[in-house]
């Protein structure tokens, strides 16, 4: 079920101003996987000790999109997904700062003074030992510690082991999704990988063979879609949860050439055009195939449904 976001979301550094001391961490938090979750749990634990309000500073677009003009980068989360995932951890404030060249050009001390001190009223920051910041990434953890002494806030380093969990997990998640191993991705994420989008009109061929599908348009072209294939999925539509089977592919049996994301929702017959839906990838069933006839395609879909329902009966 969808739920109201309880974290206070601010769309820029300038829009947040606190009279209460804050304990801060920052990063892109793409995927919000178990490594990221450990950092946010550390933030919450420190809140109990210090009594400060918790604040996460994240950036959008991804800094690599701005600094390296690498528009081919694939992200595990849209910004809306990231907000909802962070919200689950009971953080007080989330600042989503637009990452621009001007922001990147702030000197290290300008960033500390104008953002952390003046806007965030920082009492403590939890940050990686290898974190670099400021123009040309010129400052490191040692500089941050000195700034902490100057501006009266504490600095706690995230260990190399914890940071390794973060970086390794992100890479392994992307690699797993790129070969369709969504079960392994779930292990690193701590939850099933999700994709959200609007249901749009398709060729409506599925309904003619007993498998009407909802075509999902994912507006964010940077969002990583698992590799081509057929999957068992969970589906959330109109606030209700269902299961189904989903195809990522071109539908070669019926002469398709454009890659689509289509889901057949079990035990469901509502019209849902223009509805926003979310699918959660649970298990890959098989690769996409080019069948010699529509009858062979229907037979394969029936087998996919049997596989899916058997799989789901073992996890419910």
pLDDT at 70: 54
Tell me the pLDDT of the chain averaged across its residues: 89
Confidence of residue 2 (pLDDT cuts 50, 70, 90): very low
pLDDT at 316: 60
> Which tens digits make up the pLDDT trace of 303-312?
999 999 999 9
Confidence of residue 116 (pLDDT cuts 50, 70, 90): very high
User: Is there a contact between 33 and 40 (Cβ–Cβ < 8 Å)?
Assistant: no
Averaged pLDDT for residues 205-227: 88
Quote the longest CA-to-CA distance of the chain: 74
- Percentage above 90 pLDDT, the chain: 61
User: Is there a contact between 177 and 193 (Cβ–Cβ < 8 Å)?
Assistant: yes
pLDDT at 1: 33
pLDDT at 3: 47
pLDDT at 61: 83
pLDDT at 134: 82
* Rounded Cα gap, residues 113 and 84, in angstroms: 29
CA distances from 280 to 27, 181, 192 (A): 25, 13, 6
pLDDT at 145: 94
pTM for the structure as a whole: 0.87
Q: Find where tokens 């019926």 sit.
A: 254
Sorted by where each starts, the structural domains of the chain and their CATH numbers stand as 8-171 (3.40.50.620), 192-313 (2.40.30.30)
pLDDT at 38: 85
pLDDT at 236 over 80: yes
More confident residue, 18 or 2: 18
Peptide bond just before 61 cis, omega within 30 deg: yes
Highest mean pLDDT among 63-72, 137-146, 261-270: 261-270
pLDDT at 162: 72
pLDDT at 6: 87
pLDDT at 31 over 50: yes
Averaged pLDDT for residues 16-45: 90
At 244, phi and psi to the nearest 5? Answer: -175, -170
pLDDT at 50 over 50: yes
pLDDT at 117: 96
- Percentage above 70 pLDDT, the chain: 93
Mapping DSSP onto H, E and C, the string for the chain reads CCCCCCCEEECCHHHCCCCCCEEEEECCCCCCCHHHHHHHHHHHHHHHHHCCEEEEEEEECCHHHHHCCCCCCCECCCHHHHHHHHHCCCCCEEEEEECCHHHHCCCHHHHHHHHHHCCCCEEEEEEECCCCECHHHCECHHHHHHHHHHHCCEEEEECHHHHHHHHHHHHHHHHHHHCCCHHHHHHHHCCCEEEEEEEECCCCCHHHHCCCCEEEECCCCCECCCCCEEEEEEEEECCEEEEEEEEEECCHHHCCCCCEEEEEECCCCCCCCCCEEEEEEEEEEECCCCCCCHHHHHHHHHHHHHHHHHHHHCCC
CA neighbor of 57 nearest in space, from 16, 118, 6: 16
Confidence of residue 39 (pLDDT cuts 50, 70, 90): confident
Contacts of 149 (CB under 8 A, 6+ apart): none
């Amino acid at each position: 079920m969808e739920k109201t976001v309880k974290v206070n979301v601010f769309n820029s550094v300038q829009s947040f101003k606190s009279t209460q001391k804050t304990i801060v961490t920052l990063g892109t938090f793409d995927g919000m996987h178990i490594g990221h979750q450990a950092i946010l749990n550390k933030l919450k634990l420190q809140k109990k000790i210090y009594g400060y309000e918790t604040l996460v500073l994240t950036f959008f677009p991804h800094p690599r999109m701005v600094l390296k003009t690498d528009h081919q980068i694939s992200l595990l989360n849209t910004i809306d997904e990231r907000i909802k995932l962070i919200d689950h951890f009971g953080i007080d404030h989330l600042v989503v700062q637009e990452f621009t060249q001007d922001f990147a050009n702030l000197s290290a001390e300008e960033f500390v003074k104008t953002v952390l001190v003046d806007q965030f009223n920082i009492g403590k920051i939890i940050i990686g030992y290898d974190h670099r910041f400021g123009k040309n990434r010129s400052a490191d953890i040692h500089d941050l510690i000195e700034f902490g002494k100057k501006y009266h806030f504490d600095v706690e380093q995230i260990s190399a082991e914890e940071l390794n969990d973060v970086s390794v997990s992100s890479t392994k998640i992307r690699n797993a999704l790129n070969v369709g191993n969504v079960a392994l991705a779930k292990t690193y994420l701590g939850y099933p990988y999700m994709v959200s989008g609007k249901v749009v009109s398709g060729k409506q061929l599925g309904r003619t063979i007993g498998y009407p599908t909802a075509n999902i348009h994912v507006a964010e072209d940077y969002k990583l879609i698992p590799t081509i294939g057929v999957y068992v999925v969970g589906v959330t539509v109109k606030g209700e949860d269902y299961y189904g089977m989903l195809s990522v592919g071109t539908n070669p049996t019926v002469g398709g050439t454009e890659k689509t994301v289509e889901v057949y929702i079990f035990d469901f017959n509502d019209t849902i055009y223009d509805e926003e839906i979310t699918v959660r990838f649970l298990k890959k069933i098989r690769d996409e195939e080019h069948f010699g006839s529509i009858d062979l395609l229907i037979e394969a879909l029936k087998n996919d449904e049997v596989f899916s329902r058997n799989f789901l009966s073992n996890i419910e």
